Amino acid sequence: MENDEKLLLHICCAPDATVPLSDLKREGWAVTGYFYGCNIHPEAEYLKRAEAVRVLCSVLLADAVFPGYDPQSWYLVTSGLSDEPEGGKRCEVCFAAQLRAAAEYAKENGFAYLTTTLTISPHKDPALINRLGTEAASEFGLVWLDRVWRKNDGFKRSVAESRRLGLYRQIYCGCIYSERT
């Protein structure tokens, strides 16, 4: 497929972006990464993950956007959900906030398409993520590229590629609540 349309790839972390970013580029998309990290705690962890995304994008010759670290905005969105189990309602709200922020950025910057790396994880619900992505894209007049990156050994490939590149691999999803589980 040859495609020069602009696609914004929401990136949750560098390891999870290895396969989506390289596959989309190979498919011919004009892809730019968008690293949302307001959910990541503490700031030192955010900085490690942001640097890993910079390294990956440098290796893959891809542009990336880092909208800034504003954990208070994330705490506001997830207020009252601290006792939710990992994978519960708090995660759904978090995914929606991340995808909505990416969609808003995409609309403001001339992107026609949006997708995410979140569906590479075997610990996340791809149907939920793609539904939330479709809703966010639709709200901003974008086309959601529905992908499940963990298919065809995507997760396994991402682990191998992130190891090969020496990328930082975190041991928790990112938020203060997932850190304590």
More confident residue, 64 or 5: 64
Q: How many domains does the chain have?
A: 1
Name the pTM for this structure.
Answer: 0.95
37 domain residue, yes or no: yes
116 domain residue, yes or no: yes
139 lies in which domain range? 6-179
**Contact yes or no for 150/164 (Cβ under 8 A):** no
Segment 44-63, tens digit of pLDDT: 999 999 999 999 999 999 99
pLDDT of residue 1: 40
110 domain residue, yes or no: yes
CATH number at residue 163: 3.40.50.620
Residue 110 structure tokens: 């001339």
The answer to whether residue 174 scores a pLDDT higher than 90 is: no
Average pLDDT over the chain, rounded to whole?
94
61 domain residue, yes or no: yes
pLDDT of residue 181: 54
Q: Which residues contact 157 (CB under 8 A, 6 or more apart)?
A: 18, 19
Kindly list the distances between the CA atom of residue 157 and the CA atoms of 48, 111, 126, 130, in Å, as whole numbers in the listed order: 22, 28, 18, 21
| Residue 93 main-chain phi, psi, to 5 deg | -65, -40
Segment 135-167, tens digit of pLDDT: 999 999 999 999 999 999 999 999 999 999 999
